[in-house]
Structure 1
Amino acid sequence: MGSDGDATRTYYCLWVNKKSSANKSQKVQTGESSNKRIGSLFSCPASAQDLRQLDLEKEKEDEASPRGVLESCIRDFEPEHQPDESETSCSSPRAQSHWGNFFKLWKKRSLKRLPSSLQTLPSIGVPKLPKWKSKSTRENHSLNNLYNFRSSLVTFSLSELRNATNNFSNENIIGRGGFAEVFKGRLQDGQLIAVKKLTKGTTEEMIAGFLSELGVIAHVDHPNTAKLIGCGVEGGMHLVFELSTLGCLGSLLHGPDKNKLDWSKRYNIAQKIADGLLYLHESCHRRIIHRDIKSENILLTESFEPQICDFGLAKWLPEDWTHHNVSKFEGTFGYFAPEYCMHGIVDEKTDVYSFGVLLLEIITGHPALDHMQQSVLIWAKPLLDTNNIKELVDPSLGDDYDQEQMDHVVLTASLCVDQSPILRPRCNTAKR
């Protein structure tokens, strides 16, 4: 499936309108008059272009279709529309106007690039919840979650984000990825934030990535996942998260303050990351594959509680799918599972492999790839094979660790980085 199609479905999931009752009555009326319409179409000559135009007009009226959702959202941001304050939180009228421009740009540049077969689809359903829930429960739950998510977002203006990050100063950068940079900042009320600024790709690619990540985060709610507090589309695309003074696990684990991470904290961090992954894979009402689990994507709260962040590469895995096949190679070297490198296979086991590498970082204190580009896995493999835990453990820990806990984490790490995905444990097993 193309990225434009994925982004459009994500867009639909995020901004779906709550007028479901109106849609149902409209569908009944459409069904009653369909015979008359078909008769009128075949009783007079009509070109393919005329028929296509009729389809487009019908899609605009149908708020369950991708184009209808887009039209509805654009109408919400047009000047004559006065939205209820409960519908969306905007920090300024100027910021709200940028959302209108954003959606018009998406409509103009991206939607028309969709394959005609997708453009003429009458509707795309809301992603389903587990089958054990009734249809009405699943639909209402998804719609309510997505609507409430939209309502809770704060929309930041560019000036607010510049003031918070010292004009996106290089000194404020706390992370870099293939498509974005992350800046630490402080709002006027003193709240610490992390601003993810999309920096690479075409306009269409950045919009698709932005909507895709928002669409995933809309379904995520767990103590060990990052908390999105808002976003902004003025002067670029920005996602704003909560941030604590500790920053990310990677900067603490491989920096001068690594002594703050004694074994009890490391063990708790490892367990809580496993909790977060288990939630994404099995407990979240959408199966989510993160695809970029690494120490830099684990934020630490002031009490050293880990939070998985950066869902820019995350994939939804439908319940009847075993895996995704991706052609675009994305992620972080040092954490790639073999089957992903060779065949582009993405499923829960690719996250488990990355988690295994992360456990080795926590145990040894070595980065996934050092300055000589040596892999911690290659370095640790002989020690794992001989169960030489004394040489494996981070020297900064000394002998100050619980031997039983260490044995458990070392065993878990060695199982998670197995070359065969079949032999790797699932998150519910790894957590034990």
Structure 2
Amino acid sequence: MPDDCRSLEYEAPSSHGSTSDSECPPDVANNAQWRGLLRFMKKGSHMRFAHPPKTIPKLTRRTVKRIKEDLIPGLHSSVPTPSLDPDFYCFKSSWINFSFAQLKAATNDFSDDLLIGKGGYAEVYKGKMEDGTYVAIKRLTRGSQEEMTADFLSELGIIVHVDHPNIARLIGYGVEGGMFLVLQLSPHGSLAGILYGPREKLDWNIRFKVALGTAEGLQYLHEGCQRRIIHRDIKAANILLSEDFEPQVSDFGLAKWLPDQWTHHTVDKIEGTFGYLPPEFFMHGVVDEKTDVYAYGVLLLELITGRQALDSSQKSLVMWAKPLLSVDKIKELADPCLSDAYDEEQMKILVITASLCIEHCSVERPQMSQASSICQTF
């Protein structure tokens, strides 16, 4: 990476600081006090977490640090910290509190056949409720009860403030037998499920629609939402498709808040999906809007080529595509499954946008608003 590029990219101070690893016994997550929190959450969808009941134990310093960094970026820096309004932990009244029995029935006892996504912290199942509604059920699997609770509250703290047609809609949650988030899902499932599944491949019109809608969803998160959000895990598996194939960005398990004063956030461990992570993340742990822009560029390459971000031999799609992008070999980039049945001008637009978004130096990548404008120039 050129020195001038690096200096522009990493001027802001780090957003994380050091704290003691532990403050209470390691088995605190298993005691009756944590069960008190679960009972509190089971009361319904109108409760607030701004003033938790006395039965909730004090979290370890490590967990508190991570929650605060997620919800209040810049806490450990000299940069002023944005204030949290008292409604930050308020559940939406429309959210349904599902029982474990309901979730178990919807997924056929969490059958492997219905597993549509899996990561380091969660599994996602396709489900069908009693009324025929299709849902995506995210089951948190990360470590202890304490860790899952922290992840659960962190993700809800972001989702509660998000409302856009291209962002997946949360319809409920569950806290019996684990911690679950329940999202609206159409029979189409995720982009990955169709693009790489055994069924008929997506035609070009739908691929182009997915490219446009995903850009609009990310632009909203970066610039249109009441708080600046970096998703951090944009990939085909996290793009759900509505009945009319409108893309909806989902899974905010790794998402970060960034205050306006910050140019970036710095993390000290690698989290995300290989194949979609930009160079600066591996080199310096930098997370900002350009993290999502890079992943969006990889997603465009998937739509264009029909290839996965990492193939079965762990070969990078970006590394395969860059030589072809540099000489504008669109015919060789295009998915053979399309059989030349695509709009050439639209294809050129997506190829150009993808090429810009996967630039090695983050300052040379466009903002999502710019990438969205490029795609819409057709």
Verify same fold: TM over 0.5: yes
Partner of 1:422: 363
Q: 1:113 to 1:217 in 2, by over 3 A?
A: same
How many residue pairs get aligned? The number is 332
Partner of 2:180: 238
Higher relative contact order (CA 8 A, sep 6+): 2
Cα shift at 1:165 = 1.0
2:50 aligned with 1:108: no
| Cα contact 2:166–2:249 (8 A) shared by 1 | yes
| Cα contact 2:41–2:175 (8 A) shared by 1 | no
Of 211, 214, 218, the residue aligned with 1:277 is: 218
Of 252, 256, 268, the residue aligned with 2:198 is: 256
Partner of 2:13: none
CA distance in 1, matches of 2:115, 2:41: 35
| Cα contact 1:293–1:351 (8 A) shared by 2 | yes
Cα shift at 1:87 = 3.1
Cα shift at 1:200 = 2.4
2:304 aligned with 1:363: yes
CA distance in 1, matches of 2:270, 2:360: 19
Cα shift at 1:256 = 2.2
Letter in 2 for 1:197: R
| Cα contact 2:302–2:308 (8 A) shared by 1 | yes
CA distance in 1, matches of 2:124, 2:308: 20
CA distance in 2, matches of 1:78, 1:273: 33
CA distance in 2, matches of 1:221, 1:204: 28
Cα shift at 1:113 = 7.0
CA distance in 1, matches of 2:214, 2:231: 12
Partner of 1:189: 131
Letter in 1 for 2:239: I
2:323 aligned with 1:382: yes
Cα shift at 1:291 = 0.2
Of 381, 384, 398, the residue aligned with 2:339 is: 398
SS of corresponding position for 2:213: helix
SS of corresponding position for 1:152: coil
Partner of 1:314: 255
Partner of 1:87: 46
Cα shift at 1:146 = 5.8
Partner of 2:94: 152
CA distance in 2, matches of 1:190, 1:279: 31
Deviations 1:72-108 (A, max 9, x none): x97x9499xxx8x8836xxxxxxxxxx9xx9777x22
Q: 1:362 to 1:103 in 2, by over 3 A?
A: farther
Of 267, 274, 292, the residue aligned with 1:326 is: 267
CA distance in 2, matches of 1:344, 1:290: 15
CA distance in 2, matches of 1:338, 1:422: 12
SS of corresponding position for 1:328: coil
| Cα contact 1:230–1:239 (8 A) shared by 2 | yes
2:367 aligned with 1:408: no
Letter in 2 for 1:330: E
CA distance in 2, matches of 1:198, 1:3: 27
Cα shift at 1:232 = 1.0
* Rg larger in structure: 1
Deviations 1:22-70 (A, max 9, x none): xxxxxxxxxxxxxxxxxxxxxxxxxxxxxxxxxxxxxxxxxxxxxxxx9
Q: 1:203 to 1:104 in 2, by over 3 A?
A: farther
CA distance in 2, matches of 1:115, 1:347: 22
| Cα contact 1:224–1:273 (8 A) shared by 2 | yes
Q: 1:350 to 1:77 in 2, by over 3 A?
A: closer
| Cα contact 1:4–1:208 (8 A) shared by 2 | no
CA distance in 2, matches of 1:362, 1:218: 30
Letter in 1 for 2:46: E
Which aligned pairs between 1:184-223 and structure 2 lie closer than 5 A? 184-223=126-165
| Cα contact 2:88–2:157 (8 A) shared by 1 | no
| Cα contact 1:299–1:309 (8 A) shared by 2 | yes
SS of corresponding position for 1:272: helix
| Cα contact 2:45–2:97 (8 A) shared by 1 | no
CA distance in 2, matches of 1:103, 1:3: 28
Letter in 1 for 2:129: L
CA distance in 2, matches of 1:115, 1:379: 42
CA distance in 2, matches of 1:186, 1:168: 12
CA distance in 2, matches of 1:279, 1:237: 28
| Cα contact 2:293–2:367 (8 A) shared by 1 | yes
Larger helix fraction of residues: 1
Letter in 2 for 1:425: P
CA distance in 2, matches of 1:112, 1:330: 20
Cα-Cα RMSD: 3.4
Cα shift at 1:264 = 1.1
CA distance in 1, matches of 2:215, 2:125: 26
Q: For structure 2, which runs of at least 5 residues remain unmatched after alignment? A: 1-15, 21-32, 75-81, 374-378
Q: TM-score, normalised by structure 1?
A: 0.70
Which aligned pairs between 1:17-166 and structure 2 lie closer than 5 A? 77=40, 87=46, 107-108=56-57, 110=59, 147=90, 149-166=91-108
| Cα contact 1:263–1:401 (8 A) shared by 2 | yes
Aligned-residue sequence identity (percent) comes to 53
SS of corresponding position for 1:108: coil
CA distance in 2, matches of 1:220, 1:381: 34
| Cα contact 1:3–1:208 (8 A) shared by 2 | no
Cα shift at 1:190 = 1.3
| Cα contact 2:45–2:95 (8 A) shared by 1 | no
SS of corresponding position for 2:120: coil
SS of corresponding position for 2:173: strand
